[in-house]
Structure 1
Amino acid sequence: MSQDTFKKALAVGRPPNVVQNFPHSQALIVSGKVIDRAMIQKGQAMTIAANGRNIFVIEGALKAAQRANAAIIIEIARSEATYCPTTLWNVARRVDYLCNKLGITIPVAVHADHYFMKKWEDVAVAKAEIPSLFDTGVTSIAIDASHMTDDLNLLANIEVSSSIPSWAGYETEIGEIKGDFGLSTPIEAKFLCQGLNAHGLCPDWIALNNGTTHGIEASGEGIQVDLTASIHEALTVYGTSGAQHGTSGNDSARLKEIAAKTHTTKANVATALQMIGWGVRVNDFGNASMTDDGKFDKVSGEGLQDALWNEMVDYADANGISGGNYKKLNLPFERRWQGQDMATRERMSTAVENFVYHLLTDVFNAADTADIAYDIILEAGSHDLGPKAERIEDPAEWTEEKIKAKAAEIDTDKGPKGDFDD
């Protein structure tokens, strides 16, 4: 990529909210649509949606993408604002700062993940609040009304659509992360995308419950590739790619299969990146290793200073924090991590960098997608790529009354309550 190409992409590829927030920036923050289409154009490729719970994860992921010449996504979930220093309202600022500091030139989308609505009363709050996310520089969002019934999920997506800029990346969901309970089906996925299409909406991604878990422990069969492929195939005419949530618990072979055999272009990774930055041993499944006494296996001399790690463990024990809830240490301790010497700080981000680089180049097939993204931006001559598919469904067949009637005919098992952070 020449400097001239980068400058041209920078001039036309940044959405207006990014320009307004960072008028003098040299960071190529783009719509999530750009990232999705770069993966589609390469073929059998997906990129990391790195969950930036702390600033060391964001830095490591950006450095890895620059090394791999890969377009990527940095994201944070709505719920994580309660226990992470990175929130939906500062994630774009953190990405922009690090891109400029590090000389990052690859395209990056900033994604507000799992903007959830658990009941219909949440919709009004969402309509009022979502614009504030884009006001801060976010360029992509996941609307997660999957906690509700199929009809209300669709109606909630339609209702909040006016709050989302048409140029922005848009993800929808039909399943929380629940393992092998309440698996998503082609019927409910098609129902959602049909209804959205009838209302002129074209989600770039759809997230499923396709058998995955996440966090620090593997269980069940992991991601069901054939199920995922069949659902994606049913959605081809609507132009919707797959967003893979909960990659932890699945080894490299399974993730390669997801990239090769499904239409997945976005893979969320959270817990593994956090643990690696701290210096905790992580296996090929992305799961943190445990010692015989049930503690995380922190490698001495890697990640955090050992003394600070011991303080974190003591704090966790004193506050009843264990297992996956170690994520709640991000907010109280990031200030302490930043107060370490430079060599330790760089060690933390470099550990994340090396892990993400391996995923991008050896597992996800995302290397050199940055060049494809530049071409897409320059060909469009705009930050706005438009929808991937035309409206083919009849709006008259997708009124609220008919949506409720169609949903009543769908026999789906939502399964037990799941998770939606990863």
Structure 2
Amino acid sequence: MPAFGQPPHPQFDTALKVGRPPNVQALFPHSRALLVSGKVVDRAMLAKGHAMTIAANGRSHFVIRGTLLAAQRANAAVILEIAKSEGGAAQYCATTMWNLARQVDAMCNELGITVPVAVHTDHYGIKNPADLEKAKVEIPTLFEAGVTSIAIDASHLPDDENLLANILLKDYVPTWAGYETEVGEIKGKAGLSTPQEALFLIQGLNAHGIHPDWIALNNGTTHGIEASEAGIQVELTAEIHAALAPYKLSGAQHGTSGNSSAKLREIAAKTATTKANVATALQMLSWGVQVNEYGNAVLDEAKRLIKEPGKGVTEDLWTELVAYADAKGLSAGDYKKLNLPFECRMLGLPKDVRDRMAEAVAGFVEELLVDVFNAKDTAPLAIDAILAANSYDLGPKVGVIEDPAEWTEDKIRARAKTIESDKGPEGDFDD
């Protein structure tokens, strides 16, 4: 494990010079933080084999800080992300899609973090034509703000519209950036994704010269507090990943919080997953909420969160959080909406309290990276990938396989009609 400020690779300075994308270099010309494309992190996990890293939803300063501390201790390449719903124009977090990179860069320099870190916009949702038009303006601003990776999530749309939306946004995402796509809305055990749906999306993208690094599925997961014993369907995930093998897709696993360590180890061992999103567990830990060994919040008989004395925020501030939530009619699953109104209150807490909030996150994340995700010592592998390419741009993992003539808009719409699938119930599912 490298000490803080000690590079994980003898050629760290070379990697710093050539491995930071142009937007990062322009924003932070004097930085020693190795902010990299999401492609770099994916390749590091592939190089180690049967490894995935955390994509931590940086809902607060404390989550970002704790994740970076853990990454350095584990010598692991990691991803910090924020979803459009969390940090977009109608955000419920003080962290936004436009300030996440600035926070990550500042904290890396403050703490002496030398492991590679990607900055990811997660679930950039496209739910209607208006969203598509806004995206053409907004996506470039995200990269101007230092983002190095993005998930275009049009999974709420029918299969043909999902594919066409990704194609239409091709020119708005730099070719060097990490790229995630999604099939199937996150609906738990309803509307599970199929190999046919996934192949349709990836083959159509391939024909248009779009080569995602990751694909996210509805494979039985949920966002937020895990309420089901079923959880992630590992065999289904492995089946879909195997069908996509010619296109060299890695998996992005959403809704990781609350799943057992055994199941997460199984995902790393049996599927092509290299990116595991964790959000709710980190938020709860930083506040001092009681969680089980899997990071899932423990509820009392009244279905309320349990605050552990001497952990997380002060007892007085917790009382205020609960009173605010009660006044707003927020259930335990909606406590995420407290991030924005209370971030500055938390930043104003005494240093020892702030430190224990970040350390609670760090301890949990380090254990995930080392003992569950098999991501320990992937930082040097990420740097090796940069040095081998002598560039911040690692290029696609596979070339064009499909015939573009077979994937015109008319043929895409005709093909979509032949897909047999159950999309599950209608509704505005959280992303």
Q: Scaled by the length of structure 1, what TM-score is found? A: 0.98
Q: CA deviation at 1:324?
A: 1.3
After superposition, the C-alpha distances for 1:289-316 in whole angstroms (9 at most, x for unaligned) are 1123332111000011111111100111
Q: What does 1:185-196 align with in structure 2 at a 5 Å threshold?
A: 185-196=194-205
Distance 1:245 1:197 in 2: 23
2:56 corresponds in structure 1 to 50
Question: Is 1:167 aligned with 2:176?
Answer: yes
Distance 2:43 2:115 in 1: 15
Question: For this pair of structures, how many residues does the alignment match?
Answer: 421
1:404 corresponds in structure 2 to 413
Q: CA deviation at 1:140?
A: 0.1
The residue type equivalent to 1:419 in the other structure is F
Q: CA deviation at 1:177?
A: 1.5
Aligned residue among 318, 333, 343 for 2:342 = 333
Do the aligned partners of 1:183 and 1:211 also contact (CA within 8 Å) in 2? yes
Q: Which moved more, 1:163-172 or 1:73-82?
A: 73-82
The residue type equivalent to 1:317 in the other structure is D
Aligned residue among 318, 328, 336 for 2:327 = 318
After superposition, the C-alpha distances for 1:154-179 in whole angstroms (9 at most, x for unaligned) are 00000001000000000000022111
Q: CA deviation at 1:182?
A: 0.2
Q: Give runs of ≥4 in structure 1 deviating > 6 Å.
A: none
Do the aligned partners of 2:160 and 2:413 also contact (CA within 8 Å) in 1? yes
1:419 corresponds in structure 2 to 429
After superposition, the C-alpha distances for 1:129-167 in whole angstroms (9 at most, x for unaligned) are 100000000000000000000000000000001000000
Distance 2:27 2:409 in 1: 38
Distance 1:3 1:378 in 2: 11
After superposition, the C-alpha distances for 1:249-299 in whole angstroms (9 at most, x for unaligned) are 310000000000000000000000000000011113321011233321110
Shift in CA distance, 72/419, structure 1 to aligned 2, threshold 3 Å = farther
Do the aligned partners of 2:34 and 2:117 also contact (CA within 8 Å) in 1? yes
1:25 corresponds in structure 2 to 31
The residue type equivalent to 1:203 in the other structure is P
Shift in CA distance, 2/223, structure 1 to aligned 2, threshold 3 Å = closer
Q: Which moved more, 1:225-234 or 1:313-322?
A: 313-322
Distance 2:8 2:251 in 1: 31
Do the aligned partners of 2:52 and 2:373 also contact (CA within 8 Å) in 1? yes
Aligned residue among 279, 284, 290 for 1:270 = 279
The residue type equivalent to 1:20 in the other structure is A
Aligned residue among 239, 254, 259 for 1:250 = 259
Shift in CA distance, 157/3, structure 1 to aligned 2, threshold 3 Å = closer
CA-atom RMSD, angstroms?
A: 1.1
Distance 1:123 1:404 in 2: 18
1:139 corresponds in structure 2 to 148
Question: Is 1:347 aligned with 2:356?
Answer: yes
Distance 1:221 1:262 in 2: 18
Q: CA deviation at 1:418?
A: 6.0
2:94 corresponds in structure 1 to 85
2:15 corresponds in structure 1 to 9
After superposition, the C-alpha distances for 1:114-139 in whole angstroms (9 at most, x for unaligned) are 00110133212111210000000000
Unaligned runs of 5+ in 1: none
Do the aligned partners of 2:8 and 2:114 also contact (CA within 8 Å) in 1? no
Q: CA deviation at 1:2?
A: 5.5
Distance 1:214 1:196 in 2: 27
Question: Is 1:40 aligned with 2:46?
Answer: yes
Distance 2:57 2:133 in 1: 27
Q: Which moved more, 1:382-391 or 1:114-123?
A: 114-123
Aligned residue among 360, 380, 392 for 2:401 = 392
Distance 1:143 1:406 in 2: 21
Residue aligned with 1:121, SS: helix
Shift in CA distance, 231/3, structure 1 to aligned 2, threshold 3 Å = closer
Distance 1:176 1:29 in 2: 30
Shift in CA distance, 205/2, structure 1 to aligned 2, threshold 3 Å = closer
The residue type equivalent to 1:12 in the other structure is V
Distance 2:96 2:310 in 1: 30
Residue aligned with 2:82, SS: strand
Q: What does 1:58-73 align with in structure 2 at a 5 Å threshold?
A: 58-73=64-79
Residue aligned with 2:393, SS: coil
Question: Is 1:305 aligned with 2:311?
Answer: no
Shift in CA distance, 114/101, structure 1 to aligned 2, threshold 3 Å = same
2:130 corresponds in structure 1 to 121
Aligned residue among 220, 223, 235 for 1:214 = 223
- The percentage of aligned residue pairs carrying the same residue is 66
The residue type equivalent to 1:77 in the other structure is A
Residue aligned with 1:65, SS: helix
Q: Which moved more, 1:207-216 or 1:330-339?
A: 207-216
